[in-house]
Amino acid sequence: MRRASTSQEHQREQRRDGRQDMSRPSRLTAPLLRLSGLVGSLALLSVPACTRAASAVEGGQASAGARPATAALGQATTRPVEDQPVGPVPGIGDVPPLANPLQGDRSALQEGRRLFVRYNCSGCHGGRAGGGMGPSLRDPSWLYGSTPDRIFSSIAQGRGHGMPSWGVRLPEKQLWELTLYVSSLRTPDEPEAP
Amino acid sequence: MTGTRLLRTTAIAALAAGAACHGDHEPPHLAMERTGAVTDVAGSKPNVHLVSPLPNGEWRLPSGDYANTRFSPLNQINTSNAQNLHVLTTASTGVPHGHEGGPLVVNNVMYVVTPFPNNLIAIDLHKPSGAIKFIYQPHPDPRAVGIACCDVVNRGASYADGKIIYNLLDAETVAVDANSGAEVWRTRVGNIDIGETTTMAALVVKDKVLVGSSGGELGVRGWMAALDVATGKEVWRAYATGPDADVLIGSEFHAFYPKDQAPNQGVTTWAGEQWKLGGANPWGWISYDPELNLVYYGTGNPGVWNPDLRPGDNKWSCSIIARNPDNGHAVWATQLVPHDHHDYDEIMENVLVDMDWPQDGKLQKQRKLLLHPGRTGFMYVMDRRTGEILSAEKYVESTNWARRYDLKTGLPDEDVTKHTGSGKIVEDICPSSTGAKDFTPSAFSPLTGLLYIPAHNTCMNYEGIEANYIAGTPYLGADVKMYPGPGGFQGELVAWDPVAAKKVWGVREDKLPVYSGVLATGGNLVFYGTMDGFFRALDARTGTMLFQFHAGSGIVGNPITYQGPDGKQYVAVYAGVGGWMGAVASPDVSADDPYAGLGVVGAMKELKKVTGLGDTLYVFGL
């Protein structure tokens, strides 16, 4: 088995084309927002992808960086496993979810819908989030959990099979706005419902 | 029939003799002759000449032959006995996604390429019920799943030089030893980080493997690459946009129409540097004329979808291009639609056949034709030496984006009220972006002189919206909603006379498009499948249905036929609904969002009620 050497050459050529490379800074990062009121609740930002995002946000790094992601699981992880019979271990639904800090903010909901189109989420997940290249967000099936913190985490960290890690590109406020929109689907609050 | 039998006997003797030297690097065209391939079929219409040897007992190329006829002269199964067809065996591929391609059959082994993760399953046809000879697992990068626009499909493989050669979803091409299943070479041809995938069936022409890009929905700048069949090393690459040096337009190039003749139109027909995101990916079928030594393929939609964001003719999107396979140089190009407003990719099959053509009141003998049933709803007949459009007539009546073609200029007479753009919702555009047909290939029978086209009758509303290029994500700028077209039907198998430019007969589907490939045979049969899972044999002359079987999933693949080691004829097809129009069959897609799946769900809501995902190979016989 051997790989032809053309692949690297080809990729270099693409770089010369001036295309945007996801690994380099993007014009999308430009409108970074102040989030001093939010960071206290952003325990999830400690996952690697989000930490990088937080560092780009003024005031985000110091307060968000310290807590391990598992802290969000609450008491379930505090007892040493070796002292206990194995199982039952908590599932996704057994842990109290973090609320969306923008819950109830109607302008944030509209902004979430706008960003869903602007960042091409609609191209993958469907014009009204019914799916396509990516899975539907309108159905009762949630691979990675349906609570706001889980949705935030899926957007921020990315998921296997092609979901990008938007946490390295977008400010936290926008991630929560997108989360708010996704949470609103098939509810009376959904903006631009089909 | 006797002639066919005789050739087949010779072929089996040759196969037995050839077995000892398996693995020798024989030229593909010699391999074709060894199988008893023929170009002249008993009972053909007079003056129909086929330019490529036909598959006669085997199926070694994605379309069977180089000319994309999808015709096999096998005739054991024919109009007198087709009603006795039944399922002989089935096999699961284990991947419940769109099965768009078809298997190969070489040396009594059947080769199946699955959708992502693109496993190659070799089935020994000597053994009862098809024992597995080997399974090759390439393990492509799973991130490719998220950038494939229209399901994780694969459209087939080629056999050449003792190898099965095909593309992986993550923009790699592999060659696998047909006997052992060992990987011989593996070449990265594209970069998934910028949205490049490879879904088309690689075609081997002489000593080169031709591979084209997918990614027209992600701002991928399209290309066709040629790899060395022995080593996988890239020999040439021709882009579809950019300077002539990149498009490989040089001294060999002579476009027929003045509109296509100016230099560097891959740059000058775009605003600024939009050509770098200009799409025009050749993700469909390639055909080859061994007599003219030219390959032909069509290019896809320009990027971005919203036409206001890319002023100009946007060359070479929506074009048919002829190239010299030895060096990749373009010989002619004809753009069928300038400045596409509707996502009408023209990547459909180009069927190569010589037929008498009426010219200036008399018949021109055996004119070298290229038949291209367009996504636009027009059936294009072109002179494949020059790129001249000889006729362009609507094969789906609802087509309304253009009234006709001006054959002198090669330009469509467009209805400008159907032009899409920013800030307006244009309604009742027919056909929809999925076309009057999509990639699913037609078949041509030299016995009837007819082309059998799997057609759609679907329309759409289209709103141009903002678009932001973010590498590796969709680059559309359009909010599209599709729905069934007028007339009470949504699909039709159309038998089309390309010389008379008219429909001879059609078999309609009420609620679903016809989204499978077609096979025509020496038994005067036409085989195809429906999205609700019916597999059918029709009389090629009349359209009378002679056989029908309901499979476990909708059919979006391409039937093939072959002769088993027992000397009997078989027909094989995949049943595994999916692809763009089949997206809604997936539980991951919701039927309550008509804008889902790039707008296709609005037209396909019924699908969830009549079929589900599948992953089954069916083999039929008498």
Residue B10 pLDDT exceeds 90: no
Query: Does the active-site annotation cover B217?
Result: yes
Name the residue in chain A with its Cα closest to that of B218: A123
What string of DSSP letters covers B309-369?
Answer: GS-S--TTTTEEEEE-TTT--EEEEEESSSS-SS--------EEEEEEEEETTEEEEEEEE
- Joined together, the tokens standing for residue B455 give 């057609």
Most B-contacting residue of A116, A133, A190 (CB-CB within 10 A), to test interface: A133
Please give the Cα distance from A77 to B457 (Å, whole number): 58
Segments forming the whole domain that contains residue B292: 2-621
Residue A75 pLDDT exceeds 70: no
Please give the Cα distance from B600 to B579 (Å, whole number): 11
Q: In this complex, is the C-beta atom of B175 within 8 Å of any C-beta atom belonging to chain A?
A: no
> A129 and B146: CB-CB below 8 Å?
no
- Looking at residues B326-349, what average pLDDT do you find? 98
Identify whether B494 is preceded by a cis peptide bond (ω within 30 of 0). no
Q: What is the pLDDT of residue B361?
A: 87
Most A-contacting residue of B194, B199, B466, B470 (CB-CB within 10 A), to test interface: B470
Mean pLDDT, rounded, of chain B: 92
| 3-class secondary-structure state, position B520 | strand
User: Percentage of chain B surpassing pLDDT 90?
Assistant: 86
- Joined together, the tokens standing for residue B244 give 């002539």
Residue A125 pLDDT exceeds 80: yes
Sign of CA dihedral A119, A125, A127, A130: negative
Q: What is the pLDDT of residue A81?
A: 58
CA-to-CA separations, B277 to A142, B271, B310, B580, in angstroms, rounded: 34, 11, 10, 22
Is residue A80 very low, low, confident or very high in pLDDT (cuts 50, 70, 90)? low
Nearest to A123 among B143, B471, B476 (CB): B476
State residue A170 phi and psi, 5-degree precision: -110, 145
Is residue A68 very low, low, confident or very high in pLDDT (cuts 50, 70, 90)? very low
Q: In this complex, is the C-beta atom of B186 within 8 Å of any C-beta atom belonging to chain A?
A: yes
Sign of CA dihedral B115, B483, B485, B436: negative
Name the residue in chain A with its Cα closest to that of B222: A14
- Joined together, the tokens standing for residue A163 give 């979901």
- pLDDT tens-digit map of B250-286: 999 999 999 999 999 999 999 999 999 999 999 999 9
- pLDDT tens-digit map of B40-61: 788 888 889 898 989 889 999 9
CATH of the domain at B21: 2.140.10.10
Q: What is the pLDDT of residue A98?
A: 84
Please give the Cα distance from B59 to B555 (Å, whole number): 19
- Looking up tokens 């008993």, which residue turns up? B42
Most B-contacting residue of A120, A125, A168, A174 (CB-CB within 10 A), to test interface: A120
CB pairs A-B closer than 8 Å: 177
Please give the Cα distance from B346 to A35 (Å, whole number): 49
Residues 6 or more apart in contact with residue B34 via CB below 8 angstroms: B11, B14, B15, B18
Is residue A96 very low, low, confident or very high in pLDDT (cuts 50, 70, 90)? confident
Residues 6 or more apart in contact with residue B199 via CB below 8 angstroms: B100, B148, B153, B154, B155, B167, B169, B214, B283
- pLDDT tens-digit map of B111-144: 999 999 999 999 999 987 779 999 999 999 999 9
| 3-class secondary-structure state, position A41 | helix
Residue B499 pLDDT exceeds 50: yes
CB atoms under 10 Å from CB of B467, counted, come to: 25
Number of domains in chain B: 1
Q: What is the pLDDT of residue B129?
A: 79
β-sheet bridge partners, residue B562: B570
Residues 6 or more apart in contact with residue B53 via CB below 8 angstroms: B29, B32, B33, B37, B38, B39, B65, B66
Nearest to A28 among B234, B470, B596 (CB): B470
A30 by Cβ neighbours in 10 Å (0-12 / 13-18 / 19+) ranks as exposed
| 3-class secondary-structure state, position B585 | helix
Q: In this complex, is the C-beta atom of B272 within 8 Å of any C-beta atom belonging to chain A?
A: no
What is the interface pTM, i.e. ipTM, of the complex? 0.82
Lowest mean pLDDT among A64-68, A103-107, B376-380: A64-68
- Looking at residues B497-519, what average pLDDT do you find? 97
Name the residue in chain B with its Cα closest to that of A163: B146
Q: Which residues of B touch A122 (CB under 8 A)?
A: 474, 479, 595
Q: What is the pLDDT of residue A3?
A: 41
Nearest to B593 among A28, A117, A130 (CB): A130
Sign of CA dihedral B425, B219, B229, B166: negative
- Looking at residues B312-333, what average pLDDT do you find? 98
Task: Output B364 or B385, whichever has higher pLDDT.
Answer: B385
Selection from B454, B452, B424 nearest residue B437 by Cα: B454
Alpha carbons within 13 angstroms on the beta-carbon side of residue A122 total: 27
Q: Which residues of A touch B592 (CB under 8 A)?
A: 130, 138, 186, 194
Q: Are B289 and B367 in contact (CB under 8 A)?
A: no
Name the residue in chain A with its Cα closest to that of B184: A1
Q: What is the pLDDT of residue A30?
A: 32
Q: Are B442 and B558 in contact (CB under 8 A)?
A: no
- pLDDT tens-digit map of A9-63: 444 444 334 343 333 333 333 333 333 333 333 333 333 333 333 333 322 333 3
CA geometry: angle B440, B186, B32, nearest 5 deg: 55
- Looking at residues A156-171, what average pLDDT do you find? 92
Lowest mean pLDDT among A86-90, B55-59, B151-155, B297-301: A86-90
- pLDDT tens-digit map of B537-582: 999 999 999 999 999 999 999 999 999 999 999 999 999 999 999 9
Residues 6 or more apart in contact with residue B597 via CB below 8 angstroms: A126, A130, A131, A132, B580, B583, B584, B589, B604
Most A-contacting residue of B163, B228, B275, B593 (CB-CB within 10 A), to test interface: B593
Is residue A93 very low, low, confident or very high in pLDDT (cuts 50, 70, 90)? low
- Looking at residues B406-421, what average pLDDT do you find? 98
Q: Which residues of B touch A194 (CB under 8 A)?
A: 592-595
Nearest to A22 among B193, B587, B594 (CB): B193
Q: Which residues of A touch B183 (CB under 8 A)?
A: 1
> B592 and A130: CB-CB below 8 Å?
yes
- Looking at residues B305-330, what average pLDDT do you find? 98
Q: What is the pLDDT of residue B459?
A: 97
Selection from B576, B57, B242 nearest residue A19 by Cα: B242
CB atoms under 10 Å from CB of B424, counted, come to: 12
Identify whether B305 is preceded by a cis peptide bond (ω within 30 of 0). no
- Chain B, residues 135-164, CB within 8 A of chain A, namely 142-150
> pTM for the whole thing?
0.86
- pLDDT tens-digit map of B343-353: 999 999 999 99
Residue B409 pLDDT exceeds 60: yes
- pLDDT tens-digit map of B59-104: 999 999 999 999 999 999 999 999 999 999 999 999 999 999 999 9
Nearest to B595 among A126, A141, A163 (CB): A126
CA-to-CA separations, B474 to B147, B155, B460, B602, in angstroms, rounded: 8, 22, 20, 19
